Structure 1
Amino acid sequence: MSARSSIATHFTAIGADGAMRTADRDVAVEHPVAIEFNGLGYAVMMATPVDMVDFAYGFAASERLIGGRGDILDVAAHEVDGGTILRVQLVEARAELVVERVRHRVSESSCGLCGIENLEQALRPLPRVTAKAPSHEAVFAALASLPGHQPLSQATGAVHGAALCSADGAIRLVREDVGRHNAFDKLNGAMLRAGLGWDGGFALLTARCSYELVEKAVLAGAPALVTISAPTSLALERARAAGLCLIGLARPDSYLLAE
C-alpha cells in the first residue's frame, strides 16, 4: 500500500427503522510504522503514514534522543508489505542514547516496567516551562476554527488533531493521525523542522489528556495545553510539577482550568 491517509470503503448503512442502503465513505489508514535510529529497531507504532518526516523529528524529541533539529541527519520512509519503515539517522553524539535505550528495553522485556529503577525511568523529571494561560476568547476561537483545519477528520471521523494556536486563538499549524500521541509528535516535529516557537500561544488537542501528552507538551516548551477531554490524575501531577498550564474538557461553551 502506498502512503496515504484514507481509503474509500463500502458499508451498509442501517437506519433506526431497519432500512438499509449502501454507503461509501473514506476510512482513515492505520498501519504499523517501524522506527529505526541509526539502523537499530526502536519502536513500532500504529499510525497514519503521512507527514512521516515530521513524525520522526517529533518522536525523537519526545523520546529525548535529540536536543534540536540539527541532531537528525536524514529521515527516509520506506513503504513495505504490511506497513512503513521509518529510518532516522542521528549524529554520532546522539547514537549512544539509542543504544542505551534499546539495551534497557531488552533487559526489561521479560517483566515490563518492574522495580523502582524502571518506574523512575518511566517518570523521568521534566524541565520547567513558564506557564501562560490563554484568554478564554482565544480558547473558544481555536475550538471553533479547528474543525476547518482537519480535512482528514472531516473525511473519516476517525483521527485526532494537534494544533499550534497563536495567542489570539488563530490556528497556525495542524497535524492529524489515528493516534493522539502521533498527532502531537507530528505537530512538534513540524514546528521543530520549521523553527516555529509557541510565541505566547498554546497547543490544542482533540483527545483526552494523558500524562504522555503533558510530557510531550513540556518537552516541546509549550506554555499551555488545551484538550477537549478531561485530564488524568497523573497528567495533572506532571503538569503541576513542570509548571504547564493545563486546560481540559474544552467545549464550545466552557472549559476547566487546572489549579
Structure 2
Amino acid sequence: MTEHSDHAVTVLRPDGTRDAATRAVPVEAPVSIEFNGIGYAVMMATPSDLEDFVTGFALAERLVDSHAQIEAIDVHAHPAGWIVRVTLPADRMEAVIERVRTRVSESSCGLCGLDNLEQVARPLPHLPTRPAIEQRAIFAALGALSQHQPLNAATGAVHAAAYCEADGRVALVREDVGRHNALDKLIGALARAGRNPADGFLLTTSRCSYEIVEKAVLAGASTLVTISAPTSLAVERAVAAGLALVVLARPDAALMMEAHS
C-alpha cells in the first residue's frame, strides 16, 4: 500500500525567485469498515497497516473485548479507496447494531444528541496499579521517536503512536494522517502480537483529547505520554481510570497530570 506520493511544487522565496522541486505528500484515503456485512464507518486514513487499524478500532469502539473475538479481516482495494470487511461472532453483532444506531447522530464537529452524551459518560474500567515509569525512560523515548517515523520524515504531515518498553526503548510505531488512527493502529498491532501495553507506556505525537485517553485505557495501558497538551475531559477521564498521564513532553521537561485541585 502506498503511504505517500510525490508532487511537483514551486518553491516561493521572499526575494521573488522561484524554484521547481518535488514534495512527498502522505496519502489520505477513505477506508470503509464493515462488520459482518454491515457498513459501520468510513474513516479518512493512511491506507497502511489496515488490519492493525480495524483491530484497534473495534477494541476502542467496544465492539469486541479482545482480538481473539475477531474471526477474520479482509482488505480490498476499491477505485474510491479501501474496504475492510471484518467477521465477528454472531453474539457480538448486538453491540455493532446498537453502535451503528448511535453513530447516525454524530457529526464531524464532534458529538451531537443525547445518545452521544451518554456515550461520552460511559464508565471506563479502572486500571490496576503498576510501577511508575521512570522519568529517564520517558525522555529516552522522546529522543528516539523521530528515528522511528519514516513517513513523517518524508512528508512532515503525519502523527505517530508508539509503544515503548519500560526502559524507554521504542519497540513499535504506527503512523497515520489521523492521530486517532495512528493510536488505533498501534493498539491493534499490540493486540495482534499478544503484547500488554501496561508492560511499558504509550507515546503519541498528538494533543491529548479524551478519545486518546479512552483508547489507551480500553487497551489496558498504564501510562500515556503525549507531546502536546491535554483537554480538561482527558485529564478527568485519565485520573478516574488510574491512567498515568504525562503531557507537553519535550526534551527538557514534561508535565505529570494530577487530580483537579
TM-score over 0.5 for the pair: yes
In the alignment, structure 2 segments of 5+ residues that lack a partner are none
Provide the residue aligned with 2:67 in structure 1.
69
TM-score (norm 1): 0.94
CA distance in 2, matches of 1:120, 1:109: 13
The residue type paired with residue 204 of structure 1 is L
Provide the residue aligned with 1:184 in structure 2.
183
Using the TM superposition, give the Cα deviation of residue 114 of structure 1 relative to its aligned residue in structure 2, in angstroms: 2.0
CA distance in 1, matches of 2:152, 2:59: 26
The answer on 1:167 being equivalent to 2:166 is yes
Using the TM superposition, give the Cα deviation of residue 200 of structure 1 relative to its aligned residue in structure 2, in angstroms: 3.2
CA distance in 2, matches of 1:257, 1:105: 34
Post-superposition Cα deviations, 1:38-88, rounded to whole Å, max 9, x if no partner, equal: 111111111000000000100000000011111111111111122111111
Using the TM superposition, give the Cα deviation of residue 235 of structure 1 relative to its aligned residue in structure 2, in angstroms: 0.5
The answer on 1:37 being equivalent to 2:30 is no
- Mean Cα deviation higher: 134-143 or 175-184: 134-143
CA distance in 2, matches of 1:26, 1:118: 38
The residue type paired with residue 178 of structure 2 is G
Please tell me whether the aligned partners of residues 131 and 243 of structure 1 are also in contact (alpha carbons under 8 angstroms).
no
TM-score (norm 2): 0.93
SS in 2 for 1:209: coil
RMSD of Structure 2 on Structure 1 (CA): 1.5
- Mean Cα deviation higher: 49-58 or 83-92: 83-92
Provide the residue aligned with 1:91 in structure 2.
89
Provide the residue aligned with 1:128 in structure 2.
126
The answer on 1:225 being equivalent to 2:224 is yes
Provide the residue aligned with 1:100 in structure 2.
98
Please tell me whether the aligned partners of residues 201 and 225 of structure 2 are also in contact (alpha carbons under 8 angstroms).
yes
SS in 1 for 2:11: strand
The residue type paired with residue 114 of structure 1 is G
CA distance in 1, matches of 2:101, 2:203: 35
Please tell me whether the aligned partners of residues 204 and 225 of structure 2 are also in contact (alpha carbons under 8 angstroms).
yes
CA distance in 2, matches of 1:73, 1:195: 16
Provide the residue aligned with 2:20 in structure 1.
22
CA distance in 1, matches of 2:232, 2:45: 26
SS in 2 for 1:240: helix
Post-superposition Cα deviations, 1:97-124, rounded to whole Å, max 9, x if no partner, equal: 1112223334x469x6223x54112331
Please tell me whether the aligned partners of residues 207 and 227 of structure 1 are also in contact (alpha carbons under 8 angstroms).
yes
In the alignment, structure 1 segments of 5+ residues that lack a partner are none
Please tell me whether the aligned partners of residues 29 and 46 of structure 2 are also in contact (alpha carbons under 8 angstroms).
yes
Structure 1 outlier segments of 4+, above 6 Å: none
Please tell me whether the aligned partners of residues 31 and 46 of structure 1 are also in contact (alpha carbons under 8 angstroms).
yes
> Identical aligned pairs, as a percentage?
57
Post-superposition Cα deviations, 1:121-145, rounded to whole Å, max 9, x if no partner, equal: 2331100113553211111100010
CA distance in 1, matches of 2:125, 2:135: 27
The residue type paired with residue 244 of structure 1 is L
Provide the residue aligned with 1:4 in structure 2.
2
The residue type paired with residue 191 of structure 1 is L
CA distance in 1, matches of 2:116, 2:151: 38
SS in 2 for 1:168: coil
Provide the residue aligned with 2:197 in structure 1.
198
Post-superposition Cα deviations, 1:182-228, rounded to whole Å, max 9, x if no partner, equal: 00000000000010113531000000000000000000111110000
